[in-house]
Amino acid sequence: MSDTARKINGDLFERLVRLIIRETGIEVGEVTILVPVKIDGKEVFKMSYQHDLIIRLD
């Protein structure tokens, strides 16, 4: 199986899980944050990091 096919299957599975959780009445979403990357104590760049499943229980 190609990497592209694995990615598509993984994305579809994540969407299915989010839909199932949402149907139970729990708020669910995703968030992308920027994580600073430091070398020798100096910030060189920020790396994008995605959380695919955020469950909110307010």
The angle at the Cα of 6, spanning 16 to 24, to the nearest 5 degrees, equals 10
CA atoms within 13 A on the CB side of 46: 7
Confidence band for 5, pLDDT divided at 50, 70 and 90: confident
Residue reference for tokens 């199932």:
20
In tens, the pLDDT along 44-55 reads: 999 999 888 888
In tens, the pLDDT along 25-44 reads: 998 888 899 999 999 999 99
Global confidence as pTM: 0.62
Residue 25 DSSP code: T
Q: How far apart are CA 22 and CA 50, in angstroms?
A: 19
43 Cα distance to chain centroid: 24
